[in-house]
Amino acid sequence: MSMSMSKIFYKVKAHLLKQGEKSMDEEYGSCRYHGDYGRSCAVGCLITANMYDDNLEGEAVHSPVVIAALKPIIGTQRKKRKSKLELLDALQGVHDEYPPNVWKSKLEELRPEFNIA
C-alpha cells in the first residue's frame, strides 16, 4: 500500500531534521540516496535496503529506475503518483540545494504548495 502525501512529507521531514547532515558520497562530493556513514537523502530515507540498488545513484526522482524502486511508496495510480513524485522532487531539492540549518523552514514552505496539513 502506498503512502499518503502527508505521511511522505512528515516522514522525510523527521528524517532530515534528525539526521541534520546531507547524504553524500564524500569521494565525489555528490548527493546520494544512500550515502556515506549510513545517511540517506530526502528520497533515500523512503527506499529500504531491499528496494535499494546502486544503479539509483545519479538518477533523478522522475527517472524510470527510481520510479520503479519507489512503487511501494508512490503506488500505481497515475494521478496520485505524479503528485507524489512532484513532492519527492521538491523534498529532494531541499536536501540537495540548501544547508541543513535552513531545512526546517524550507520544508515548512512546501506544506501549503502541496496541501499538507
> Alpha-carbon distance 68 to 72, whole Å?
9
Q: Is the pLDDT of residue 78 over 90?
A: no
State residue 27's pLDDT score. 81
Which pLDDT score, from 0 to 100, does residue 29 have? 80
End-to-end CA distance of the chain: 21
Q: Which pLDDT value is given to residue 111? A: 97
Q: 104 or 80: which carries more pLDDT confidence?
A: 104
| Residue 31 DSSP symbol | E
Closest of 63, 56, 27, 28 to residue 40, by C-alpha: 56
What does the DSSP assignment read for 48-109? -TTT--GGGTT--TTSHHHHHHHHHHH-S-HHHHHHHHHHHHHHHHHHHHS-GGGHHHHHHH
pLDDT, average across residues 86-96: 97
Please report, for the chain, the start and end positions of each structural domain, with discontinuous segments joined by +.
Answer: 5-110
Distances from the Cα of 73 to the Cα of 28, 88, 105, angstroms = 29, 11, 25
Q: Average pLDDT of 46-66? A: 94
**How confident is the model over 53-61, as a mean pLDDT?**
94
Q: Does 88 have pLDDT greater than 90? A: yes
Per-residue pLDDT tens over the stretch 12-49: 999 999 999 999 988 878 899 999 999 999 999 999 99
